[in-house]
Chain A
Amino acid sequence: MLLGEEDHFNEEGEFVINIGPQHPSTHGVLRLKVWLDGETIKKVEPHLGYIHRSIEKMSESFSYRQFGYITSRMDYLSAHMNNQACALVVEKALQVEVPARAQVIRIILCELSRLSSHLLWFASAGLDLGGVTPFFYAFREREAINSIMEETCGARLTQNFMVPGGIITDLQPDFQKRIKEVLKQFKDNYHEYNEILIGNVIFQNRMKDVGVLTREDAIALGCTGPVARASGLSCDIRKHYPYDGYEKIQFDEVILTGGDSWARCEVRMAEMLQSVHIIEQLIDNIPEGDIVAKTKNVIKLPKGEFYQRVETARGELGVYIVSDGGSTPYRCKYRSPNFSNLMAIPHISKGHKIGDLIAIMATIDLIIPDIDR
């Protein structure tokens, strides 16, 4: 039996397709229900929950030393930042001073993972638009960064390096040398990204004037990170609510006003250079001293509510903990950047083509496990 007209179209005569949950360009198990008029998108409806692992509920049974590790599995490309947020909220509650050495190492590793995350964005953005080659050029540098993570933290993605009070182990001896090698490799190859993808006229035409998110909409939808900064919204937590000594570091918050996919691309490309700039400032100035502040063996948070936000590679991650004075959180809530950024997709993809929806998803740069948690 051939599908008749009534099967292809819904009651209103609209052509409905499901992009996902298994689809090459949703980068995971996101399902977008798309109403189409020919090639033009009339409406998009995201359906979530395919990778819900109840991380928030699990955190309630974990001790304050344990609950950080599982956040590596939320936004797995910003694992360091997620761990850091959990460590920071415990430090804030206990009012522990983190040693200067630990702070600097934390920043270096976080910026490295931001760099590697944006490299992965570059790779997958090219892939989503049908260019396979940029993927490998970006992964070459990302591989070098991952090797450093492996040598320093013991794992490539789910590092679990930040603990309440500082970091888990001290740096390996040739850390600085390796970082400098990677940064040099990155800077030598940066022009290739422009040549292969960013400067390409097809890529620019695919990106420009596509998915325009205005500043007002970005605020209303709660967008953060590069997505909001491309819309002209200054929202960098590192600047506005500095943590772990970001206030002492010179860097620019990249803000563009275009709001379209192209602006989001440019913000990320510029942020890569800013991350390199931050690491270069710190790499020769790692202070000596302790790597972890003394905390009790079993951490008990005072009764109350604690909130800490950090800037991950995709925006603002907030950790909210309600403590009843015990050794496990009473309630744990993560404000994940991807969930809010996802909500921009239905809004900005209306009236565009199917190919544009893919381009918009690529530039919003979603990590699906972070949406569901």
Chain B
Amino acid sequence: MFLKEYFGSIFSSIKSLLTGMKLTGYYFTHHNKIITEEYPDNRAALKMPERFRGEVIMPHDEKNEHQCTGCQSCELSCPNGSIKIITKQEIQPDGKKKKRIDTWVYHLDMCTMCGMCVEACPTTAILMGNEFEHSQYEKKYLKKVLNKPGSRLKDGVE
């Protein structure tokens, strides 16, 4: 009885070990199952999903116009304080003074890509971009101004 158990355990063990070796042997001979992606080489073909949150961007149209009214909802909704909006008073053609953004400062180094500023924005002036290669040699390069120089608010956006 003891011998039966003894040899039974040996054979079942060898069987389980051979099952594992069969699997690794299968993958050793089937190179088409390899899942590695060669990242810097496949950069051209690499397509991030549309929703991927890589950084905050402010789209400008061809007339260099953005949609940010400077309402500061994003600044308030940001949990990390990575957005700072500096506004100015701008005299409109009809003579009225209106609040417009001067600089839209984005601290990429503090951003956690939670996307809450984009959610809070009432005019969809900011979006999450797909760019993810943010590495820089110095931290100062991670402080960005999102509104382009000379840009202005698109007409009709309030």
User: Quick check: do A and B touch in the complex, using CB within 8 A?
Assistant: yes
Q: Which residues of A contact B (CB under 8 A)?
A: 62-63, 65-66, 69-70, 133, 136, 140, 143, 147, 150-155, 158, 160, 163, 168-169, 172, 192, 195-197, 199-202, 204
Do B114 and A196 have beta carbons less than 8 Å apart?
no
Do B24 and A154 have beta carbons less than 8 Å apart?
no
Do A158 and B114 have beta carbons less than 8 Å apart?
yes
Do A160 and B116 have beta carbons less than 8 Å apart?
yes
Report the separation of the CA atoms of residues A29 and B153 in the bound assembly, to the nearest whole angstrom.
49
Report, nearest first, the 9 A-B pairs whose CB atoms are least far apart. A201-B13, A151-B49, A154-B53, A154-B51, A66-B79, A69-B114, A201-B16, A160-B114, A195-B23
Kindly state whether residue B20 has any CB partner on chain A within 8 Å: yes
Identify which of A66, A151, A153, A200 contacts B20 (C-beta below 8 A). Answer: A200
Kindly state whether residue B29 has any CB partner on chain A within 8 Å: no
Identify which of A70, A154, A172, A196 contacts B79 (C-beta below 8 A). Answer: A70
Interface size counted on chain B using CB atoms at 8 A: 25
Do B20 and A196 have beta carbons less than 8 Å apart?
yes
A147 surroundings in chain B (CB, below 8 A)? 49
B22 surroundings in chain A (CB, below 8 A)? 195
8 residue pairs of the A-B complex, CB under 8 angstroms, read A69-B116, A70-B79, A136-B35, A152-B51, A154-B51, A196-B20, A200-B16, A201-B16
A66 surroundings in chain B (CB, below 8 A)? 77, 79, 116
Question: In the complex, given contacts A69-B79, A172-B50, what are 12 additional A-B residue pairs having Cβ atoms less than 8 angstroms apart?
Answer: A140-B35, A150-B48, A151-B50, A152-B51, A153-B51, A154-B113, A160-B116, A163-B119, A168-B115, A201-B13, A201-B16, A202-B17
Q: How many pairs of A and B residues are in contact by the CB < 8 Å rule?
A: 71
Report the separation of the CA atoms of residues A147 and B35 in the bound assembly, to the nearest whole angstrom.
14
Report the separation of the CA atoms of residues A163 and B116 in the bound assembly, to the nearest whole angstrom.
10
The secondary structure that dominates the A interface is helix
A202 surroundings in chain B (CB, below 8 A)? 17
Identify which of B12, B49, B50, B119 contacts A168 (C-beta below 8 A). Answer: B119
Report the separation of the CA atoms of residues A152 and B13 in the bound assembly, to the nearest whole angstrom.
44
Identify which of B13, B23, B79, B113 contacts A155 (C-beta below 8 A). Answer: B113
Identify which of B23, B79, B113, B119 contacts A192 (C-beta below 8 A). Answer: B23
Do B17 and A154 have beta carbons less than 8 Å apart?
no
B12 surroundings in chain A (CB, below 8 A)? 201
Report the separation of the CA atoms of residues A196 and B114 in the bound assembly, to the nearest whole angstrom.
38
B148 to chain A, nearest CB (A): 25
A140 surroundings in chain B (CB, below 8 A)? 35
